[in-house]
Amino acid sequence: MTTLTYVRNFEAAEPAARFRDLLASEWLKLWSLRSLRWATGLGALIVVAINANAAFADYSNWPHYSQQIKDNFVPAWSYESSFTDISALVMMLFTGAIGTVAVVGEYGSGMVRTSFAAVPARRSLLAAKAAVLTALMLVFGILVTAGSFWVSQAILSGRGVGISVTEPGIMRGMLASAVLAPACALVGMSLGVLIRHSATATGSVIALLLLVPLFFTEDRYWSAVFKHAMLHDAWRYLHKIPAIDGAFKAQLPYPSTPGGAWLVLALWPVVAVVVALVVVDRRDL
């Protein structure tokens, strides 16, 4: 009697990638982009230099200021020199562009095919990229904001008009400036996922973050509502310290609120990431 023996070969299933592994992978991919490293360093230097230049202009022109300006310089004008409106716009441009490069660079090189082949869970992979980008840009925002404040106040202290970070409202403004960086970067990332073309995506970032707010004004209710829903205007409102907050509100027929401004800064990146997660799982490569 012959006995037939059947032997089954079981292949060990490859373990699924853990989210922390995806985070490590996305960090390596992001930081290996030479353009991203250059943009991050150059952007930080330019923003700090703009604010230092504003402080130095006040330092140089101080003897020519009227007594009224000198009396009201601290804390309002002294703080405005530490992070100017122009520097905020430049930071928004740089961080938004960094967000698009983080995605478009991978699509352009074809590496995205390898990434999705290794990790079919596209949403998890993009969520890891968003988390790494958020952490990187938050550190960028904190360093740039703190560096700008320290340099500008060091310059203004030469005229005896420097202020401390403990001044009421300063920390709120600095936090809003720091959070603005990851918020714009995630918007840029989302546009990169949608468009997948470097120049077009970067142009869309400029249009959405910098040009669209120019079409809205404060003189009509619905126009003011849309204007307050823009990232730059939300930052601008939170950047005003209590010493001049009342006068700033008095100039606006339909002023925003601190809670509304913080909500805008939170919703933009959240909506951007949700849109990117939905799109990346439904579109072909």
| pLDDT tens sequence across 150-177 | 999 999 999 988 888 888 888 999 999 9
| 285 assigned to some structural domain | no
Structural domain includes residue 11:
no
pLDDT for the residue numbered 28: 86
Each residue of 87-141: pLDDT tens digit? 999 999 999 999 998 888 787 777 777 777 777 788 888 999 999 999 999 999 9
What is the reported pLDDT for 114? Answer: 78
Range of the domain at 129: 20-280
Q: Where is pLDDT greater, at 153 or 240?
A: 153
- Residue 2 covered by a domain: no
Structural domains in the chain (count): 1
Q: What is the pTM of this model?
A: 0.87
Who contacts 273 (Cβ-Cβ below 8 Å, separation ≥6)? 127, 130, 186, 189, 190
Who wins on pLDDT, 68 or 49? 49
Could you tell me if residue 1 is inside a domain?
Answer: no
Q: Say if 38 falls within a structural domain.
A: yes
Helix (H) or strand (E) holding 119, with range, is none
pLDDT band at 10 (very low <50, low <70, confident <90, very high): very low
Among residues of the chain, what percentage have pLDDT more than 70? 89
pLDDT at position 141 is 96
Is residue 12 situated within a structural domain?
no
pLDDT band at 241 (very low <50, low <70, confident <90, very high): low
Confirm whether 70 is domain-assigned: yes
Buried b (16+ CB within 10 A) or exposed e, 105-135: bbbeeeebeebeeebeebebbbbbbbbbbbe
Q: Does any domain span residue 120?
A: yes
